[in-house]
Chain A
Amino acid sequence: MSRRRVVITGMGWVTPLGDDLESVWQRLLAGESGIAKTTLFDASTFPTTFSAEVKEFDLAKYLGPEDAARHKHCNRNAGFALAAVKMAWDAAGLSGATKLDSTRIGIYLGSGEGPIDFDNFVAAAVKGWDREANGGRGDLDARKWCEVASQRLNAITEFEQDPNMAAGHIACQFNIEGPTFNTLTACAASTQAIGEATNLIRRGDADVVVSGGTHSMIHPFGVTGFNRLTALSTRNDSCITASRPFDRTRDGFVLGEGAGILILEEYEHAKARNAPMLAEITGYGSTADAFRITDIHEDGRGGIAAMRLALADAGLEPKDIHYISAHGTGTEENDKIESKAIQGVFGEWATKVPVSSVKSMLGHLIAAAGAVELITCVLAIRDGILPPTMNYSTPDPNCPLDYVPNKARKAEVKTALSNSFGFGGQNDTLVVTKVTME
């Protein structure tokens, strides 16, 4: 028996460049940037003062006032996800579908944890800190902390922080009772989610899976964490050009936020209800570096293995790939090693296959990045045009590939490959292909 085919029948996103599938795509092709000064909190003295924020988000715009009120306590991640699912669900024609079996619809998300209730958390922490204790080194006074925290923290905000809550809201809003997972493998999460969702359908555990990712780390502790790791660009005087994947003058990634959702569906199920078939997921590969939590293996070992597994899963050769959507974060290390890994897999073909990174415009959406990037691959296949890598001005001898610099390019794309690599050595690759009808 041949294996069950998995097609994409709907897509939706909430990004720093907007939420409408087509207009965001046009803005990406035009090389626009979603990066600006951070407004979600006062980042003016942080090493990095800018980010790629989602502007003026209002859940009621997508769900209507009544349903939005039902989800009014959900955090930024879950809100983005609900909006993106709604757009994908409608695009897939599922809203009017009457014969859906809710137990055969699953969810496989890569949702991040919700932001900490910052002001209240910090107030309790500061008031609970006893400077004199521990011989003047200070210590937490748990009694004092408890008194303040129990007054200032509230149950719902705490409850909604769990990374599985986005899936919980989605299941209720769209009446989904099938297998439900949330994976959180850092920056690889939504690519991993889509790959695993593909396997759920292939195996027959579900016919439809809502998959993708959602994340916002544009909050004081998120930026603190990445700034302390010196992972972020600090090009504060020119933030629009700060995200410079593969450029020699790159100095780190730019933090973004948003959600990308794809409706994955078994081919015959989609065909039977005349659903749009936007592309087919043909390959998935997942590996661990098992090297270091801070550094990528210098040979790109894990990335090479993930890409090879994805190609083998798709039954394709390197020359069958017409476009690579790179992880391309704009950090010194990632871009160098990802380029090396692509060369390791593609050999001579490496310089012929175009590679680009939309993170140059959207920033890095962390857990949501892979899903948003896979959507751009599907659109590149559909329209025969590749999104550019913006801000590319100075070639880096360590990055010798064709990065589609600064300008979108027409190209026939039958098959695209998308990489996501996470902190700690998580590597995931997907292959998407133009649908051939049986």
Chain B
Amino acid sequence: MAPRRVVITGLGLVTPIGIGAEAVWNALLEKKSGVTRISAFDPSRFQSQVGGQIAGLSTSNAIPKPYRKSIRVMARDIEIAVVAAYEAVKDAGLKTRCMVERGECDGEPNVDPTRFGANIGAGLICADLNELAGALATATDENGEFDIRKWGSDGMNNLTPLWLLKFLPNMLSCHVTIVHDAQAPSNTITCAEASSHLAIGEAFRTIARGAADICICGGAESKINPMGLMRQELLRRLSTARNDDPARACRPFDAARDGTVISEGGGLLILEELEHAKARGAKIYCEVVGFGASSNAHSWSEPHPEGRGITLAIRKALDDAGLQPDNIGLIGAFGSGTVPHDRSEARGIRAVFGDRTAKIPTLAIKGSLGNNGAGSGAIDLSVAVMCLKNQTIPPAVNLEQMDPECGLNVVQGNPVDAPIDAVVSVAYALGGGQNAALVLKKI
């Protein structure tokens, strides 16, 4: 039996530069930046005061009306995923339970729920401090210090009964599967910035082995909250030099970069078995042909100096695709914008592509977006899909002078048209050591 082929039939993006794949694509071509001074809370005491924030997130317009009451138990990460799911399903022309109940299509759902799976990457979802701090403040003694006995007896009752469910990482997937009625395998990958690629890779395998015909997959995260910013700041990963020029703060691979920028966003893609997609007359963007993953075995906290794990992941993905490095027309880099991570990634890529690295156009979009955490990879991959479709590569904003230690051929200045037959997209966890790569091919 021939192996089942897997294609991409829908893209759903929710980012600081736009909602929907077309909007994001156009914003990238126009070199827009979604990074601004943080307005969700007062950042003035933080060292890094800039971030990528999503404007106009309307979760209630992405779900059936009776489900709106559930929004109050959704962390921001979950809302982003729910909106991304709506965008993806709409783009794929799927008549799911959500679309039928919303009256956006006629008749009955055209998706068999038992063959519809989900595989969604999630971050470490931060508790909502506005809610939690207020509750904790009710359990203090006469000196204003927290008293755990008061918390146990009374204070905790100030939290809504469903409080815990707001922050479980599998709730991205749970809400999405409930809203769209997806009952096939549902998985949640929590490997920081590698999560989306790993989740999409797993969805690819799930369909290939026949456990589902369609999977909604990708990831979402929001670090735009005081705790999210504080954690990255303590880890010294953030740009602090350009608080007065936010749009220029995130500069992957640029010689003058000084760190990444927190952000929020996500992407969900519809992966579908080829014959299934053809049978329903779906628009097919491209085929997923390769997946590879690896671990750094040298450190759980620092990037590998030679990017060994990244090399391993790319090689495995190329092997899996049956392709050679020469077949790759576009490299989708992760490009977080920290000095050591960008160098590690670039070296890992160069080890695979050798001298050709300087000739292969490379995509790096975080200058416009900031670091979307567990949602990053799905946004990167979706933009790579658009490059493949349009045979055009948007430029990296803020890349003025390539760090000679990196030496990648990242497209800068203006969009470049290029013949692209196959793309490799790379992701890695900034901490923890997981790496993943996916290969897409024109169909």
Contact = CB atoms under 8 A, between A and B. Distances in A.
A160 to B, nearest CB: 9
A349 interface: no
Contacts of B239: none
Contacts of A227: 156
A318 interface: no
A102 interface: yes
Contacts of A150: 45-46, 230, 233-234
Nearest to B44: A143
Interface string B76-100: 0000000000000000000000000
B297 interface: yes
Given A171-B300, A288-B174, A425-B178, A158 B234 contact: yes
Contacts of B296: 168, 171-172, 177
A207 B173 CA distance: 29
Interface in B17-38: none
Contacts of B129: 125, 128, 140, 145
A155 B162 contact: no
A42 B185 contact: no
Nearest to A179: B293
A286 B178 contact: no
Given A125-B133, A158-B234, A293 B174 contact: yes
Interface residues on B, range: 35 or more
Contact of A142 (B45, B127, B149, B429): B45
A198 to B, nearest CB: 11
A288 B183 contact: yes
B124 A182 contact: no
Interface in B268-320: 292-301, 308-309, 312, 316
A300 B399 CA distance: 54
Interface residues of A, number: 91
Contacts, number: 298
Q: Which secondary structure dominates chain B's binding surface?
A: mixed
Nearest to A169: B300
A282 to B, nearest CB: 15
B184 A128 contact: no
A381 B56 CA distance: 57
B216 to A, nearest CB: 11
A167 B178 contact: no
Contacts of B117: 288
Contacts of A288: 117-118, 173-174, 177, 182-186
B178 A184 contact: no
B187 A140 contact: no
B169 A305 contact: no
B434 interface: yes
A185 B170 contact: yes
B73 A293 contact: yes
A172 B299 contact: yes
B202 interface: yes
A57 B70 CA distance: 40
Given A183-B187, A293-B73, A168 B300 contact: yes
Given A126-B145, A186-B170, A423-B168, A196 B43 contact: no
A286 B113 CA distance: 13
Most chain A CB neighbours (cut-off 10 Å) among B152, B205, B316: B152
B114 to A, nearest CB: 7
Contact of A290 (B144, B178, B234, B309): B178
B148 interface: yes
B161 A229 contact: yes
Contacts of B43: 142
Interface in B106-151: 113-114, 117-118, 122, 124, 127, 129-130, 132-134, 136-137, 140, 144-146, 148-151
Contacts of A180: 191, 293-295, 433-434
B190 interface: yes
Interface string A129-173: 101000000111111011101100111001101111101110110
A290 B183 contact: yes
B202 A181 contact: yes
Most chain A CB neighbours (cut-off 10 Å) among B43, B186, B189, B431: B186
Contacts of A287: 114, 183-186
Interface stretch (A19-27, A29-37, A86-94, A218-226): A218-226
Given A113-B124, A146-B230, A305 B431 contact: no
A155 B236 contact: yes
Interface stretch (A43-51, A329-337, A370-378, A412-420): A43-51
A52 to B, nearest CB: 19
Nearest to A220: B148
A140 B133 contact: yes
Given A229-B165, A288-B183, A168 B433 contact: yes
Contact of B191 (A164, A294, A423): A164
B39 to A, nearest CB: 11
A45 B144 CA distance: 19
B313 to A, nearest CB: 9
A143 B170 contact: no
